[in-house]
Structure 1
């Protein structure tokens, strides 16, 4: 493209870009002087600057894919996307949050630093990328833990790990192995959450429930075991079960138990509990966070009431 041809052939210029995103260096090779590229990014002009040396050939809000292409152009060919963006593109059902950074991994010897919406992490443990829709993604196990290491509160870490196990079908053992092999920075919270998941928590809510049970002073319950009545018929798979008094605890929320078919299934389950003579406490996840003392008191009262009556003839599946 000649030095001034680009001004008359915007289509060809766009075709040389990645979804409208292009570097200033590439523009210069096409005949667009650097000073012209940056001048056309001034307010009221037709382009915009996404990152140092990276231009979007249009105004208006960039799409998520254009932001990603800009980040990859900024970081170079060895960059790998990790964190939440990588998790979403591998199946995590969690919407992007405005202002959420795009986390990229780069080999440790490179000097590129974080800028704008791009969080750059240089590492000696570069993963082999998984390519989805043309994008280089860190494997799901690495992506999940790279995000967890950045979090500073227990609840979001629990939620992300539980979602990864449920939605991405990531094995807890693989998460533990990656955690052991990776940096120790920020590993304490995911390590504790993984222990809860390994003990039977299928969701973030159940992991929170496990932590709350320790405040009750009650014996440790069993988690997610199948319960039968005296005829051997299926009753339920309670989230928590105190076998010595036949008390079930259910954390009822479609938000966490994606496989439940709905309200009718919950009613049917509760009817089976009633027919088998089982006491059941029902809690929604929000109560675990907003009313922990009330939940503890309710569990303790229910346990004492269950202990005061004859135990019904139910048993755990062998």
Structure 2
């Protein structure tokens, strides 16, 4: 026979649970007998043990929110999500490596990694940032923790570049976070931050800069504000060859999906051309798949730019001088 408050009010369990997830000890406090929990968590039962001591109040596939909730309950008071799970809660796109949930706990707490949860004991417990019902590490910590565990350099590069491009965190903030943490598994993120130190804001631009270094053309600067002679802001091209007034634009489709973004790109390039700028445009896949053609385009347009008077446009530093 059922005994306890929950027998008279079954909805009480869901009210006490967080996102349908509840500790076994909380069930006991509500009067749910251990034998009842065991019976309901058997194969084919109404509930399931999603983690040791943690029960999910249905027998279907748990959502990512429920997995993260269970991981935090398993981690205990003050536990904080980090890595990809935290970034997902911060609004980042899902990642193929989000199957595991990374949880930070204080060093004195003994929790073993289990099932889909990776538990990290750390002296550097961050202040939790609430995202809905989930306690998450700040974005800089989440990005660095995810980057350390990236399996491939491209994954690490895309993750860090995405965070910087969104404006959620700066290269300096990531560098400080990386420097404060352990050196283990830090080679990949350190390499990417060194690349981003040249002011590249996306994976496509990093690839472009690497290719341009092989062109034999004069030095190009990237993501610098361009002004007219009266000091008015004109644009911020992806790349700018100041010697001849040539702009290089990388059409990364991932960042121009909305009609508004596409229209802004078209208007910016039309404005550059009206001011006499030679604009070279390439897709990221062309830079990777046809580098010889891209270099030929750059050299050809460089000669075109040299053949006409340089437009009276200036970088901020040059204007100030």
Shorter-chain TM-score tier: 0.7 to 0.9
* Residue pairs, 1:145-164, within 5 angstroms: 145-164=144-163
Shift of 1:239: 0.9
Shift of 1:97: 4.7
Structure 2 CA distance, aligned partners of 1:41 and 1:293? 61
* Residue pairs, 1:23-102, within 5 angstroms: 23-90=23-90, 92-95=91-94, 97=96, 100-102=99-101
Higher helix share: 2
Question: Residue 139 of structure 1 aligns with which residue?
Answer: 138
Structure 2 CA distance, aligned partners of 1:127 and 1:83? 13
Inter-CA distance 233–138: structure 2 relative to 1 (3 Å threshold) = closer
Moved more, 17-26 or 251-260: 251-260
Question: Residue 20 of structure 1 aligns with which residue?
Answer: 20
- 8 Å CA contact 1:129–1:138 kept in 2: the answer is yes
Structure 2 CA distance, aligned partners of 1:119 and 1:210? 36
Question: Residue 238 of structure 1 aligns with which residue?
Answer: 237
Output one character per residue of 1:86-114: Cα deviation in whole Å (capped at 9) or x when no partner: 23433x44235585221111223333122
Query: Between Structure 1 and Structure 2, how many residues are aligned?
Result: 316
Question: Residue 174 of structure 1 aligns with which residue?
Answer: 173
Moved more, 16-25 or 297-306: 297-306
Question: Residue 316 of structure 1 aligns with which residue?
Answer: 314
Inter-CA distance 296–35: structure 2 relative to 1 (3 Å threshold) = farther
Question: Residue 196 of structure 2 aligns with which residue?
Answer: 197
Shift of 1:177: 1.1
Structure 1 CA distance, aligned partners of 2:187 and 2:309? 41
* Residue pairs, 1:210-289, within 5 angstroms: 210-228=209-227, 235-253=234-252, 255-256=254-255, 261-289=260-288
Output one character per residue of 1:112-166: Cα deviation in whole Å (capped at 9) or x when no partner: 1222221222222111222333432212211111111111333332322232224
Shift of 1:316: 1.5
Shift of 1:248: 1.4
Shift of 1:56: 0.9
* Residue pairs, 1:114-125, within 5 angstroms: 114-125=113-124
Inter-CA distance 26–144: structure 2 relative to 1 (3 Å threshold) = same
Output one character per residue of 1:47-84: Cα deviation in whole Å (capped at 9) or x when no partner: 12211221111122323322222111211113111112
Inter-CA distance 279–172: structure 2 relative to 1 (3 Å threshold) = same
- 8 Å CA contact 1:227–1:314 kept in 2: the answer is no
- 8 Å CA contact 2:84–2:97 kept in 1: the answer is no
Counterpart of 2:105 in 1: which secondary structure? strand
Q: Give unmatched runs, 5+ long, in structure 2.
A: none
Counterpart of 1:261 in 2: which secondary structure? helix
Q: Give unmatched runs, 5+ long, in structure 1.
A: none
- 8 Å CA contact 2:89–2:134 kept in 1: the answer is no
TM-score (norm 1): 0.85
Question: Residue 207 of structure 1 aligns with which residue?
Answer: 206
Structure 2 CA distance, aligned partners of 1:120 and 1:279? 53
Structure 2 CA distance, aligned partners of 1:230 and 1:6? 75
Output one character per residue of 1:148-195: Cα deviation in whole Å (capped at 9) or x when no partner: 111133333232223222435323222111111111122222223223
Structure 2 CA distance, aligned partners of 1:4 and 1:267? 67
Structure 2 CA distance, aligned partners of 1:122 and 1:290? 43
TM-score (norm 2): 0.84
Structure 2 CA distance, aligned partners of 1:74 and 1:237? 48
